[in-house]
Structure 1
Amino acid sequence: MSEQENSKQLLHLVFGGELDDPSTLHFRDLEDLDLVGIYPNYAEAHKVWKAKAQSTVDNAHMRYFIVHMHRLLDPENEGK
């Protein structure tokens, strides 16, 4: 079995956008969301998330997020 077949893909989505109020999760404009990409594991997603978040540090309303897509795709196996 190859290394790729041996390791389980745990997909993560990185996206961001401007919030109406930094204390909420309500986006100003859903059409203006920055869909950064989908990554095969949390470590890769975190690197990209950190770079995007740091590049927008001057905008207090801009937030980037990591979505654990594997939890949405296969919720029954989350604890395994």
Structure 2
Amino acid sequence: MSKIHLVFGGRVKDPRTLDFENLNAIDVVGFYEDYKSAENAWRGAAQRTVDDAEMKYVVVHLHRLLEPDLEAPAA
């Protein structure tokens, strides 16, 4: 299975959380097949809004959500 990563962001109610104000206004940056590409996209999006503390971008490991047992954490 491909390791799919999603990068998205938007305005949050509190910068310490991921409680987005308006899900209809989420900025979907894109889907990426490896973490390095996703991280580069995340850095670019985050840099564009660096002066706005209420804007937050994240990388979501979709492959972990689709098959959580595939990558069990090391003990």
TM-score scaled by length of structure 1:
0.84
Q: In structure 2, give the amino acid aligned to 1:34.
A: D
Return the alpha-carbon distance in structure 2 between the equivalents of residues 59 and 10 of structure 1.
31
Aligned residues: 73
Match of 1:72 among 62, 65, 71: 65
- Give the match's secondary structure for 1:53: helix
Name the structure 2 match of 1:61: 54
Return the alpha-carbon distance in structure 2 between the equivalents of residues 20 and 28 of structure 1.
6
Return the alpha-carbon distance in structure 2 between the equivalents of residues 75 and 10 of structure 1.
12
Aligned Cα RMSD in Å? 1.4
Post-superposition offset of 1:25: 1.7
* Structure 1 residues without counterparts, runs of 5 or longer: 1-7
TM-score scaled by length of structure 2:
0.89
- Give the match's secondary structure for 2:69: helix
Return the alpha-carbon distance in structure 2 between the equivalents of residues 62 and 11 of structure 1.
23
Moved more, 44-53 or 69-78: 69-78
Moved beyond 4 Å, runs of 4+: none
* Structure 2 residues without counterparts, runs of 5 or longer: none
Structure with the largest fraction of helix: 1
